[in-house]
Amino acid sequence: MVALAPPSCYLPRPLFETSPVPALIMLGTGDAIVDYTSSVASFAEIPAPSLVVSLERGSHTAFADVVSDFFNNVPHPDVIGCSSVVSDIDVSTLGTLAESLGGASAEVVNAECVAPCSTNQTETPSMRSGRQAELTIASVVGFLDGVFVPGAASLATLGAALAAEPDITVETHLNP
């Protein structure tokens, strides 16, 4: 499983108790659309083998590779992403999403999600979109090689290589 900037705080806890499937979760600490803090806390329980990769000042919008060339000189691409989200989603109804998914009885990870685009993340420049695209592609290709190609580098090796980058933090879960 590969998930880029997933809105994880509404996921039910039983999802994390399933049989272990290799997972790569990538998040940006500067994401204005999906709150980084609640997302990273949600994935603390993901079963092994998995990598949770945090890109320092990574934005939500820049995970879409097609925008990297267009937004490379935009201080924070989520300004553009948020203009679309806020016009298309009634964020006042998001609090009821947890209840519609079963609420406390469904063991939703964090029913108190931060509404999209409600923080001041866009006031600080994000990671350059081109750099974020490079790191995302390298991470996903390395992960898929490690999972599907016989003799390819292990997830532990990939995690160590990614952690060596100055703008990445990696949490590695290897033992099921």
pLDDT digits (tens, 9 = 90+) for 84-115: 776 666 656 555 555 565 555 655 555 567 77
Q: What is the pLDDT of residues 116-162, one digit of tens each?
A: 888 888 999 999 988 999 999 999 999 998 888 876 668 888 889 99
- Give the bridge partners for 3, in sequence order: 25
Higher-pLDDT residue of 11, 79: 79
- The average pLDDT across 77-81 equals 88
- Could you tell me which of 169, 82, 76, 81 has the C-alpha nearest to residue 129? 76
CB atoms within 10 A of CB 87: 7
% the chain with pLDDT above 70: 73
Is residue 44 within 8 A of residue 22, CB to CB? The reply is: no
Higher-pLDDT residue of 14, 160: 160
- Give the bridge partners for 170, in sequence order: 53
Q: Which residue has the tokens 């603390």?
A: 44
Residue 136: predicted pLDDT = 94
pTM of the model: 0.84
CB atoms within 10 A of CB 76: 23
Is residue 8 within 8 A of residue 111, CB to CB? The reply is: no
Residue 172: predicted pLDDT = 84
Give dist(CA 51, CA 24) in Å, integer.
5
- Give the bridge partners for 26, in sequence order: 4, 53
